[in-house]
Structure 1
Amino acid sequence: MTSEFYNRGLEQAKQKDYGGAIEAFNQAIQLDPYFSKAYMERGLAYYNSGTILQAVFDYTEAIKLDAENAKAYYFRALAKLTLKNLPGALEDVEKAIQFKFNDAAAYDLRGIVQRKQGNIQDAIANFKKAAELYLEQKDQENTRLCLEKIKQLQPKAEPTPNQAITKSTPIISTQDYFTQLLEKAEKGDTKAAISDLNWILKADNQDAQAYCCRGVVYCKMGNYRDAIADFNQAIELNFKDAIVYRNRGKARSQIGDHQGGLADINQALKIQPQESLVYIARGNVYQAMGNYLAAIQDYSQAIQINSDHPLAYYNRGIAYTCLEEMPNAVEDYQKAASIYCQQEDWDNYQQVLNSLQKIQSSIPATNKATYNLLRQRLLRMVGGHWEIAQRLIQQKKDFYPGMAEEWYLQTVIDDLERDRR
């Protein structure tokens, strides 16, 4: 029976009926949850239908069942490349090559990723390797395409001195300079940022903005006491911007001084009452104190000010989890993941997905009888037209990937009931 559904899915995918193929693979997986090939083929169907996130989930399931599945790594790399997750794509294609050494397509894909990352020489080397392998396979078309890619990447002739254009280094403002230092720290180069700031303060020990900037970097390093000392110095030098109080409040809370942290963040709110980051910071302090309702209120206020701030949704999801309000937590995690995906912030995207998976594993599976009841109830609500129900369910899957089938059914039912009211 399992192979019957699987073969039906293959046939429907071949005919480009991806919806039907996915449904057939669903049936095969329901009968055999360890059927790795079904996850692979369903992932391909999702990918071809444009549901890229769901494809990534299925390839991941296939890899869990077979850790050396080169094909799964290769297709997950393709999906991640489509999502513009270049580091993730490179990591997966490296695995594909590791487990299937002489795969021309994998070297070709690695060349594409490295070209997009700006690693031109590495990209050329991979396209050459792919061309050699395609040639061995007598695949003339792909060999030609690889050679074209190499030709496009070959360095052009250097301009002569008379052709060279001299550009003067633009003068940047003090604010821009400190912004660059903070961006350097944000990318993980905190030691270099601290070194630059130490040099500035050695030249002028009355530079309040430099103390504030160094305090922010110390916070990123987890060195909260030195951060507080720098924020104190900035305030003494009359630099009383909201960023000083907000970050000093965060640092004080981190060392256990929650009341002092609240006092600082409240001061920041007086200066910047419409800054979402201040509400997020105060919500974090309330959460550290165990006052989850107050934390949720502040995160909600941050979202009202800036509805596209992923951290507000993610932290509110954590607070809902602590209150065991799992549906609300899942909704917030999904929204945070969606925004991080749009921003191509893959580290935070993965962190949110990990939190989401923990919640899913803690929720007991709904039995088949309950699933059938939900399905029948939804069918009645759409007048017996299951294709309407399927379209509504697919919309939820596109926006909230990776949830249980019962969750999608219940969410669609809730939406329909809310609309009727």
Structure 2
Amino acid sequence: MTAKDLLNQGVNLARRRDCTGAIAIFNTVIEYLPNYAKAYYNRGSAHYTLGNYARAIEDFSWAIHLSPDYASAYINRGNVQRQLGHLDAALDDFEHGIQLTPLSARGYCNRGLLRLDMGNYTGAVRDFDYALKLEPHLPRGYLWRGVAWLQCGDFSLAIHDLNRALTLTPDCAKTYNYRGLAHFYQAEHPQAMADFDQAISLSQNFADAYNNRATLQMEFGDYRGAMQDYCKALKLSPSLPKGYPQTLEQLHPELQDSPTSGKAALLNNRGNTRATLGDSHGALDDYTEALRLAPNHAYIHHNRGLVQLYLHHYELAVTDFSAAIRLNPQCAEAFSHRGGIRQHLGDLDKALQDVNRAIELTPSLATAYVHRGRIYVDLHNYQAAMADFDQALILQPNAAHTLNERSVLRFRLKDVEGALADVNRALELQPQFSDAYINRSLIRFDRGDRSGAFSDIDVVMTIHQHRPAPPDDRAIA
């Protein structure tokens, strides 16, 4: 199997939204072909999907450095910059991509979406015009141009474009929702209601459509129906739209009661339970409400930070861990987790300060040694990294992820047998550990065991092939 074959396997995993597994494969490809621009590009795309924006930008930048005419790398880096709110940088990247591929609709669509963000609605319309001249049957081109017309206040043109989009993709819930808004603004209430109903029929978890239908039901005087839709929208959406506050007061009058520490504790505990059961957004809701009632409780900030970290909301997680530290400067776990995020984002100096403080406060905190070990790896201080991974495993000898990380480091230091022993132990502890199989395949390949290496890659594919890919609800990327 060549490195390029391995790259294709990574691409297939990424298409099925197993981006963590894909990144592990791309890491292997880059180790063998460090100047292969496509590997950096694909790894950057996987990091982007996971919300690892700093790493995505780094990878797209490397792809551009290695291949200066790589238009897709410019476009995708622009998308990351857009997500981060770096609108000028995003615009520069989109314009580079358009210059390199002036006959591709993709660049114009992405620049059009950026111009929507910037409030340049006429500029957005022009970009979607160009895209649709190049690809006259591009459904999202009509959808987003319809949104631009909607923002311009030209509701008739918006409806015209959204009709075209529905001709091409009749099952697009988003398009029905936007067309319903256009009808609503033209006081065409029956048509608006029909569109919101259809959007919900096509996507029963579409919070915005429930919210819009509730607003329309208020116009009709159907307050019971509106209440039901608002409740449904609130259950579906972890972040509340700006138009909700008065309705929330009607739905939850008890929130006007005097807060008590007991109530905040109950919300925190329910949040912990929801997080354990995988309901991350519900947990965030509970922690946020608990903090509204009791804003100076460090442990609630810490718990919310853990969920934000799990969801890859790194900046929000840092904010919560920082609040926990401010309220309780002895909270070693908060220092450790904040240090881990800072290492992940490349701020190694501050990361090292945080984990050193965590270890000073709680010398038995294994995760702090793991985080510091990763920092030392990034600093190429491999002996110090090894000492930290060793200490972490003394404290938690059955930590599969730490064993795998030490295995990777041992392999880098040419301790092949030690690396193999660690990864084998990791797989005994966690038989479905994809990263460990990929790591072991690399070790086996190095030892000349090609059959074993390919067998491990096959196991990775088997683990991931049954994972369903979530629908791609993002804009053109």
TM range, smaller chain: 0.3 to 0.5
TM-score w.r.t. length of structure 2: 0.37
Q: Which of 1 and 2 has higher RCO (CA within 8 Å, sep 6+)?
A: 2
TM-score w.r.t. length of structure 1: 0.41
Max Rg structure: 1
